[in-house]
Amino acid sequence: MAEQKFAENEVVELVTKIVTSIGTTRGDLIPILQKVTNELGYISQEAIQQISVLLKLPTKEITSVATFYRMLSTKPHGRHIVQFCESAPCHIAGGREVLSALKEALQLEPGETSADNKWTFYTTSCLGICGVGPVILIDTEIHGNVTPDQIPSILGRYE
């Protein structure tokens, strides 16, 4: 995840590059926002400003789309994003206990970022790997068949 802070002119440059590579029609907005989230870590106000200029769309329109989808973020993230699958198959396979152990270990509620900026914690929709539930996704790494007592050692692997 993008940890470094971007200066305003860098954001403008990056967003312009992304928009040039994707396109400037209305249908291109979500792919643009997805790419900005990936490269910048989140969709900052400056990024929204620049998209607004290039796509000729009001900023409130862009903000309204950016805040609708869970995978688009208008807030900065911690270094690692921990996502817990809270879906039914994981719930039945013991997910409730894993979730409370995870909250306890991170000292975070879903949607929060830790003070040291190390973790951002989310619950996610079904990841579709229900055969190995309960499932935790840390950044892009999947941890399956998780039990509450494994949580500290799993988290311990991340710097």
Partner 1 sequence: MAFYRSTVLVSVDPVCVEKGAYELIDTLNDELIKQGLIDEVRILETTRLGDPQKLGPDIIVYPEGTHYTNLTYYDIPRLVEEHFIKGRILKQYAAKMQDAIDEELSAPKSKEVRVVLRNVGVIDPRNIEDYIANDGYQALGKVLTEMSPEDVIQEILDAKLRGRGGAGFPTGLKWRFARQAAGDIKYIICNADEGDPGAFMNRRVLEGDPHSVIEGMIIAAYAIGSRQGYIYCRAEYPIAVSTMNLAMKQARALGLLGKNILGTDFSFDLEMRMGAGAFVCGEETALMASIEGSRGEPRTRPPFPAQKGLWGKPTNINNVETYANVPPIILRGAEWYSSMGTEKSKGTKTFALAGDVKHTGLIEVPFGITLREIIFDIGGGIKNDKKFKAVQTGGPMGGCLPEHLLDLPVDYETLGQAGSIMGSGGMIVMDEGTCMVDIARFFLEFIQDESCGKCAPCRLGTHRLLEILEGICNGQGKEGDIEELQDLCEQIRKNSLCGLGQGAPNPVISTLEHFMDEYKAHIEEKRCPAKVCRNLIKYEIQDGPCTGCTVCARNCPVSAITGERKQTHVINQDICIKCGICYQVCQFEAIKVI
List contacts with partner 1 (CB under 8 A).
Answer: 25-31, 33-34, 64-65, 68-72, 86-89, 91-93, 97, 100, 124-133, 140-142, 144-145
Query: What is the nearest approach in angstroms of partner 1 to the Cβ of residue 6?
Result: 21
Give least dist CB 67 to partner 1, A: 9
In degrees and rounded to multiples of 5, residue 22 shows phi and psi of: -105, -50
For 131, counting Cβ atoms within 10 Å of its Cβ (0-12 exposed, 13-18 middle, 19+ buried), the class is exposed
Extended beta strands in the chain, E state: 80-85, 119-124, 136-138, 141-143
* Nearest approach, Cβ of residue 136 and partner 1 (Å): 12
Per the CB < 8 A criterion, the answer to whether 37 and 43 are in contact is: yes
Least distance CB 56 / partner 1 (angstroms): 13
Nearer to partner 1, 12 or 129 (CB): 129
**Nearer residue to partner 1 within complex by CB, 5 or 49:** 49
Distance CA 103, CA 30 (A): 31
Integer Cα distance of 137 and 144 in angstroms: 9
Which of 10/131 has CB closer to partner 1? 131
Nearer to partner 1, 108 or 135 (CB): 135
- Give whole-number Cα distances, 135 to 30, 96, 102, 113, 139, in Å: 27, 11, 12, 20, 13
> Smallest distance from the beta carbon of 8 to partner 1, in angstroms?
25
Q: Which of residues 117 and 147 has its CB atom nearest to partner 1 in the complex?
A: 147
Give the CA angle between residues 133, 135, 140 to the nearest 5°.
145
